[in-house]
Amino acid sequence: MDLHLSGKIALITGPAKGMGAAITLAFAREGCDLILAGRDTNAIAPVAQTAEALGRRVLVIPCDLTDTARCQGIVDEAIAAFGRIDILVNVAGGAGPMGKTGWETTRTEFDDIVTLNMTGCFNTMRAVLPHMIARRSGHIVNVGGTFGMRGRAGRMAYSASKWGLRGITKSMALEAGPYGINVNLVAPGMVDGDRFGTKVVPTAAAKRGISEEQAVAEHAHEYALRRITTDEDVANACLFLASPVSRQITGVDLPVDGGWAVL
């Protein structure tokens, strides 16, 4: 199926590594030119170079997404360079405190992750939507998480931030819909990547007194499909929701988790 993304201009936050890099390169392979925004431009550079090798135009812009004025600045720079923004994909975010109950979580820990995961997306959406509204066209995809759909013991602050992002997404979908703009959320479950392999699995194995292979199998057994999500699974969902093929879909939470959120 042709997703009709060739020639589109996509602004992607958090493109440096893991899921963000996979999403960025998936859009590049579909023919999108890219604006890549994040704090560490050195970390973004290899991804940008790979996208350029695919023939894409790429603009890398340093940005602290919690800075409202700076987010407006990256949108202004992108419009000046490319003339428009067709797609916004908010990947950037953080994990927050792990293994802490809600009463053990400090106010600073709570504020930091809510500010990053909610305010960062709000800032970019607030900056880009007037341009999309003027053109009566646009797709926004926010990357949330299934812990913001079911909750998770020991991850209260993170769950709260991703639950809140769902509310932002749905409300803005209702507000932007009359202008022909789709706003959706992709909610990955546990993703097979660096953190899963070097932190989650070894910690689970040590806690349960089992091998890392057994720990991976136990994680997979929690999901209906009995397999762990990959970065490419998440990237494909983002491509779909950012494309004209999904023209009649807005305000949805799309779990990409092998069936964990429904169990």
DSSP 97: -
pTM here? 0.91
**Domain boundaries defined on the chain:** 9-190+230-256, 192-228
Which ranges of the chain have pLDDT less than 50? none
Question: pLDDT value at position 97?
Answer: 67
Positive or negative CA dihedral for 144, 145, 146, 147?
negative
Question: pLDDT value at position 184?
Answer: 98
Query: Helix (H, G, I), strand (E, B), or coil: what is residue 256?
Result: strand
Taking the C-alpha atoms of residue 171 and residue 55, their distance in angstroms, rounded to an integer, is 36
Taking the C-alpha atoms of residue 165 and residue 171, their distance in angstroms, rounded to an integer, is 10
Length of the chain: 263
CATH topology of domain 9-190+230-256: Rossmann fold (3.40.50)
Q: Which residues are catalytic?
A: 158
Question: pLDDT value at position 253?
Answer: 94
Closest by CA to 169, choosing from 129, 229, 131, 137, is 129
> Please, are residues 81 and 88 in contact by the beta-carbon 8 Å criterion?
no
- List pLDDT tens digits, range 19-68: 899 999 999 999 999 999 999 999 999 999 999 999 999 999 999 999 99
